[in-house]
Structure 1
Amino acid sequence: MPPGPTPLPILGNILQLNGKALFQSFNKLSEKYGPVYTIYLGMDPTVILCSCDAVKEALIDNAEDFAARGYMPILHKISSGGQELFYFLSGVVGSNGERWKQMRRFSLMTLRNFGMGKRSIEQRIQEEAQFLMEEFRKSNSQPLDPTFYFSKAVSNVICSVVFGSRFEYEDKEFLKLLNFLNQTFKGFSSIWGQMYNFYPKVMGAIPGPHHNIFKSINGVKEFITKRVQMHKESLDPSDPRDFIDCFLMRMEQEKDNPDTEFHMQGIVNTTLDLFGAGTETVSTTLRYGLMILLKYPDVEERIHQEIDQVIGRDRAPCIEDRSQMPYMEAVIHEIQRFIDLLPLGFPHKVTRDLMFRGFLIPKDTNVFPVLSSVLRDPKQFKNPNQFNPGHFLDDKGKFRRNDGFMPFSSGRRICAGEGLARMELFLFFTTILQNFTLHSPVDIEEIDLSPLLSGFGNFPRYYQLAFIPR
């Protein structure tokens, strides 16, 4: 296997890792052991890929060999007193083999049928963006915490596809649901969440805040289960309203198949995948992105100029504007690169005994393609630790793609919602900056762009800003 630091019995290499910034520890170890090395997270060997070239070679050039989802205890079945709390394996994110192929194929096909990548989903985003603008206008230019404003708006886009309707922003059940999602992402990124992934049996047996993750997930699943029951009672097979209706119809078609993947657990967990991934990642990117623009008012000013030139103030932004707005496109790409939302990505595992870069990786070995090492690869980006939209602009100011842009991962396991996420980010950012100037109640020198928590995800610090009508 690839070289790596000598592990201790039971503990593995945990003493060589910084629990508050795991990906930084991985990058540091790669300086000594190279871009492909072995580390023990607990008692299990894991291969770390730590450069743009190594990650691309694995996920793209050897896509089939690295296509399986690796073992991540926090995403797998967890029991407490015999009661199942969280079982992710029947969804899209955590499953493998034929189950994964069927769930992904069905999900993508159904989402496309309900407008993913089409004009209809664009109209839903535009409509939701206007609801959000109205909420910001109600603030009368007073500072506010944007966290749940973005969660509500972004979640409503995926809710309209999955549940067939949007929720009012004051809906208490909706707010409770969004808080569950926010706490889950925060818990995943905490040191407690990471410790659970290293030592699931030990951490499962001791008290601590990591158990709140599973309470939150259970809350989301209960909400989804109620919605599924409501859909069952009002289902019209001749006129499916949304993703849940389509899944229920498929369940009915395959009810006599003992090996079907379309069952109650499947519908709850697949909906959880789509709803969770479709809410927290985009809303966190928006929240983090506006904090960056507060820090760099010159970037905001240049965006205002481009918006006024291309769109003006009299019509809503549309996705066709994107090709005429290279600076906005570069800023959004740079925000995604800089915030490095999921620095480790999800674990993969190799599907066979594999020779990779002269090393043997045994079948079913966990592999972490460290996305942070791609997004901050100095070979790809001139100043990787600085926020600079110029990373995605050529000498003439035109948008320039970069192989190091991989926030959605790559290969067979690339995020199924990438197209929707990119559309949402462009339309929400552009609509906000068309209508408002951002103002920080604190001096911009005091704005700290480093994450509050950094583990599975980079969780931004809480902050306030005022939306000043333009």
Structure 2
Amino acid sequence: MWAATLLFSAFLILFNYLYCVKPRNYPPGPKWLPILGSALSVSRLRKKTGSLAEAMAIFSRKYGPVLGFKFGQERIVICYGGLAIKEFLNTESLNGRPMGPFYELRTFGRNGILLTDEQFWVEQRRFILRHLREFGFGKRNMSEMIEAEADVMVNHIKHLIGNQKEISAPMDTMFGIHILNTIWTMLAGTKYNPEDSNLKYLQNILTELFKNIDMIGTIFSYFPFLIYFAPEYSGYNLYMKTHVPIWKFITQEIEKHKKTHVPGSPRDLIDVYLEMLAAPEKPASFTDDQLLAICLDLFMAGSETTTKSMSFCMLYLLLNPDVQRKAQTEIDMVVGRDRVPSLNDRPNMPYLEAIVMETLRHFMRRTFGVPHRALKDTHLCGHFIPKDTMVIPTFHGIFEGAECMWKDPYAFRPERFIVDGKVKALDMFIPFGMGKRRCLGETLARGNLFIFIGALLQNFDFKVPAGCKPPTTDTVDGVTAAPRPFRVLSHIVQRDPTITHTPAIVINNSLCMIYR
């Protein structure tokens, strides 16, 4: 009896010791507790600051630009600050993607383009980019496609206003379907009505998911046994509740293509991929599950970040009417009001392009990059990074923290990107990352923001009505930061005989959109 007790006690002591001891020269950070690792320290500081990015800023001030954590069995390294992030993103051995249930459940294993790596990722990314270009990606007709969708968006807003006294709509879903249409047209040859109830439902559940998880993962990421013993508490139920209807939606789209696709006459990327699947000597990486996973990645990542960027832009345009006036003057001089701005106008519209860049900077201030994985034992800024360690950059230090290159990081000031009348980005303006893992959708995202913002400012003014408080600039944590939820309320403003158009939209009783 005593021997068994002593043996068990010795086992526990040895287990705790081995669990809590960090690898030699591992990046510094808070102490590791048995089982929990750093989870409790991070949770407490995050709750205190209200933001995971702010918590990492405090840890960085104490421990340095490369931070070492452990959650359950998972080793996690956070890069904070420009020099550390630059070295990290350019280190070949850190270009892997994480493993585990959180990342593998969504695509039936390690499929897709967002969370795959090595030769599989290289082969699939090359194929996707090559064929997306055939359907407009990065070409002149991409601008035409975005322009058409921007025109639909403006007319939809005008229709919502109509002659009614008021119509309420949430800002976080105002642009989502329009942005999704710009990628989905090339991917699936389909455009959806902004009032499509199924797409609105999918957007709502995605918003809920992205609000309740983050780039570091969720509880069941680090303690997988909780999937079976505490599926609700661990976040597993929410995770599956969100993914199942999206899998169904995409599967139905692929099945439609299988029935209507004419071999040799592809209409979009799905058709091209189906032809590859039917090829007698197709590479092993091309499968039905991989096609579904690619569609899922582009559906989720392709709309979520740009939609949130648009929300940030609308928020800051409201709070900075002088920025609106300057942009509208530029639009009137270069484009006029008879057509939507196009990407060909960019060289002549530095201020609008600077608004896009300042929007991206504010969106990225509290955002983490997609997690990487060490493909082998390696080093980062002199610290040892063991194989399979997850490494994640936080852009807080670059765009907001004490070491950022902007004197007034909290202000929305597009002029910071204009030098001698031309747009100029600082060296560490990297909202889309850098290196081989640079965001695949950068061209489309920048194009969407330029044309959509331009079309809105071309047609509407944004004002804070008298007696109303401006909305807060506080953010909501999640996969990416988001403005605090607010709704759009449209109503008819008293008509001024000197102004041709006067309907308005009010956000949180704080924002007027007035026809110009």
* Same fold at TM > 0.5: yes
- Does the 8 Å contact 2:71/2:222 carry over to 1? yes
Q: Secondary structure at the match of 1:126?
A: helix
Asked if 1:242 is matched to 2:272, the reply is no
CA distance in 2, matches of 1:399, 1:9: 52
Deviations 1:182-224 (A, max 9, x none): 3332333499x63344434325631437322321111111111
Q: Secondary structure at the match of 1:368?
A: strand
Asked if 1:429 is matched to 2:453, the reply is yes
- What do you get for the CA RMSD once the two structures are aligned? 2.3
CA distance in 1, matches of 2:462, 2:63: 45
- Does the 8 Å contact 1:347/1:368 carry over to 2? yes
Unpaired segments ≥5 residues, structure 2 = 1-25, 489-506
* Range that drifts further, 293-302 or 164-173: 164-173
CA distance in 1, matches of 2:421, 2:83: 27
Deviations 1:103-127 (A, max 9, x none): 1111111111111011111111110
Asked if 1:111 is matched to 2:138, the reply is no
- Does the 8 Å contact 1:349/1:364 carry over to 2? yes
CA distance in 1, matches of 2:465, 2:36: 46
Asked if 1:454 is matched to 2:500, the reply is no
Q: Which residue of 1 aligns with 2:72?
A: 42
Q: Which residue of 2 aligns with 1:213?
A: 239
Residue of 59, 67, 76 corresponding to 2:95: 67
Unpaired segments ≥5 residues, structure 1 = 78-84
Q: Which residue of 1 aligns with 2:414?
A: 389
What one-letter code is carried by the residue in structure 2 that aligns with 1:462? P
CA gap 1:5/1:171 in 2 versus in 1, 3 angstroms: closer
CA gap 1:72/1:284 in 2 versus in 1, 3 angstroms: farther
Q: Secondary structure at the match of 1:68?
A: coil
What one-letter code is carried by the residue in structure 1 that aligns with 2:439? C
- Cα deviation for residue 42 of structure 1 reads 3.0
What one-letter code is carried by the residue in structure 1 that aligns with 2:211? K
Q: Percent identity?
A: 32
Q: Which residue of 2 aligns with 1:373?
A: 397
- Does the 8 Å contact 1:409/1:415 carry over to 2? yes
- Cα deviation for residue 341 of structure 1 reads 7.1
- Does the 8 Å contact 1:293/1:299 carry over to 2? yes
Deviations 1:422-468 (A, max 9, x none): 011100000110111123458674311111x2132112222233421
CA gap 1:405/1:4 in 2 versus in 1, 3 angstroms: same
Asked if 1:130 is matched to 2:151, the reply is yes
Asked if 1:147 is matched to 2:172, the reply is yes
Q: Which residue of 2 aligns with 1:232?
A: 258
Q: Which residue of 2 aligns with 1:185?
A: 210
Q: Which residue of 2 aligns with 1:261?
A: 285
- Does the 8 Å contact 1:347/1:369 carry over to 2? yes
CA gap 1:362/1:321 in 2 versus in 1, 3 angstroms: same
Residue of 409, 414, 420 corresponding to 2:444: 420
CA gap 1:336/1:10 in 2 versus in 1, 3 angstroms: same
CA distance in 2, matches of 1:269, 1:380: 38
Q: Secondary structure at the match of 1:38?
A: strand
What one-letter code is carried by the residue in structure 2 that aligns with 1:155? L
CA gap 1:146/1:422 in 2 versus in 1, 3 angstroms: same
Q: Which residue of 2 aligns with 1:322?
A: 346
Asked if 1:165 is matched to 2:174, the reply is no
* Range that drifts further, 284-293 or 201-210: 201-210
What one-letter code is carried by the residue in structure 2 that aligns with 1:39? F
Q: Which residue of 2 aligns with 1:401?
A: 425
CA distance in 2, matches of 1:301, 1:202: 54
What one-letter code is carried by the residue in structure 2 that aligns with 1:159? W
CA distance in 2, matches of 1:244, 1:157: 15
Q: TM-score, normalised by structure 1?
A: 0.90
Matches within 5 A, 1:5-44: 5-17=30-42, 18=46, 20-44=50-74
What one-letter code is carried by the residue in structure 2 that aligns with 1:222? K
Q: Which residue of 2 aligns with 1:302?
A: 326
Larger radius of gyration between Structure 1 and Structure 2: 2
Matches within 5 A, 1:192-211: 194-202=218-226, 205-208=229-232, 210=235, 211=237
- Does the 8 Å contact 1:375/1:406 carry over to 2? no
Q: Secondary structure at the match of 2:407?
A: coil
- Does the 8 Å contact 1:349/1:366 carry over to 2? yes
CA distance in 2, matches of 1:232, 1:137: 38
Q: How many residues are matched?
A: 456
What one-letter code is carried by the residue in structure 1 that aligns with 2:406? F
- Cα deviation for residue 150 of structure 1 reads 0.3
* Range that drifts further, 423-432 or 317-326: 317-326
Q: Which residue of 1 aligns with 2:309?
A: 285
- Cα deviation for residue 350 of structure 1 reads 2.0
